[in-house]
Amino acid sequence: MGPIRDWVYDFLEKKGISREDIPTRFEDVVKILLERLGTSARVIAYRTMVELYKEFSLSADFDYDDSLPEKFVFLKERVLADRLHPTRTPSLKLAF
C-alpha cells in the first residue's frame, strides 16, 4: 500500500473506524475525511466509488458532484439484489 492510503487507514482507525468498518460506515468515512482534508476528500471518495462500480462490472454513470452516499446505497442494493460478485477482489463480497 502507498503512504497516503496507509495514512487514511490510520487516521480512520484513530477516529474509531476500522478498515473492516469502512464499507458499512461510508458516510461517516467521507464526513471525517472532509473535516480533515477538505475538498480533497471528495476526490478520494469519488475515485473509490468509481473503482467499486468497476469491481462489480457496473457502469459508474454519475458525476463528481452527485450524492456519493446515494450511489453507495444503490451499489449495495444492486450487489445484493443481483447477487453480483467482485471481479478482482473476492474479499469485497464480505463487505456487502
pLDDT band at 82 (very low <50, low <70, confident <90, very high): confident
pTM above 0.85, yes or no: no
Separation CA 11–CA 75 (nearest Å): 26
**pLDDT of 90 higher than 90:** no
What are the pLDDT digits (tens) for 18-55?
999 988 898 899 899 999 999 889 998 999 899 989 98
Cell numbers found for residue 24: 458499512
Domain ranges of the chain: 3-94
Torsion (CA) 61, 53, 36, 67 in degrees, nearest 10 = 40
Separation CA 61–CA 3 (nearest Å): 30
Residue 33, CB half-sphere, CA atoms under 13 Å: how many? 24
Separation CA 76–CA 25 (nearest Å): 13
